[in-house]
C-alpha cells in the first residue's frame, strides 16, 4: 500500500516537472512583434522578443520599450543575421540601403556578402 502511494507521488512530481519545463520552454520562444518588408519586396526584417517579456508590466503604449532582436530574411527564408535591440521600437529606425540595411546605433547588414555587423560597444 505504501509503495503504491510513493509511486503515485513520484508520478505526480514527474508530471509537474514536465509541465513546468514545457511552460518555461514556451515562454522562452520568440513572439513576433512586427515585420518590415524592403521596398523591393526581396527581404523582410522580423522584429521579435521572448514571450515572457509580454508578461512584464508596461505602461500604456510602451509595448515597444521591451528588448528583443531583429533579423532579416530573404524571400526564400534564408537568414542574413540577427541583431539585438535594447527596445523593439528601434526597429522603426531601419533604413533599407542599395545593398543591405542598417539601424543607427545598432548595426548593419550587407546582403551581397551575407554578413552583418553589430555596432554595440
Q: What is the pLDDT of residues 53-98, one digit of tens each?
A: 666 665 565 555 788 999 999 999 999 999 999 888 899 999 999 9
Q: Distance (Å, rounded) from C-alpha 2 to C-alpha 22?
A: 30
Asked if the structure places residue 89 within a domain, the reply is yes
State which residues form the domain around 105.
Answer: 30-53+63-118
Asked if the structure places residue 44 within a domain, the reply is yes
- Domain count for the chain: 1
Rounded to two decimals, what is the model's pTM?
0.72
Asked if the structure places residue 110 within a domain, the reply is yes
Q: Distance (Å, rounded) from C-alpha 76 to C-alpha 54?
A: 29
Q: Distance (Å, rounded) from C-alpha 105 to C-alpha 121?
A: 10
CA nearest to 46, candidates 87, 88, 76:
88
Position 11 confidence tier, pLDDT thresholds 50, 70, 90: confident
Asked if the structure places residue 38 within a domain, the reply is yes
Amino acid at each position: 500500500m505504501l509503495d503504491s502511494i510513493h509511486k503515485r507521488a513520484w508520478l505526480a512530481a514527474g508530471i509537474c516537472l514536465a509541465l513546468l519545463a514545457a511552460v518555461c520552454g514556451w515562454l522562452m520562444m520568440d513572439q513576433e512583434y512586427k515585420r518590415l518588408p524592403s521596398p523591393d519586396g526581396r527581404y523582410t526584417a522580423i522584429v521579435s522578443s521572448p514571450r515572457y517579456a509580454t508578461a512584464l508590466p508596461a505602461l500604456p503604449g510602451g509595448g515597444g520599450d521591451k528588448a528583443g532582436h531583429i533579423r532579416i530574411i530573404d524571400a526564400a527564408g534564408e537568414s542574413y543575421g540577427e541583431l539585438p535591440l535594447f527596445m523593439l521600437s528601434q526597429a522603426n529606425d531601419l533604413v533599407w540601403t542599395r545593398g543591405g540595411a542598417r539601424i543607427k546605433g545598432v548595426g548593419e547588414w550587407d546582403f551581397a556578402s551575407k554578413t552583418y555587423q553589430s555596432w554595440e560597444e
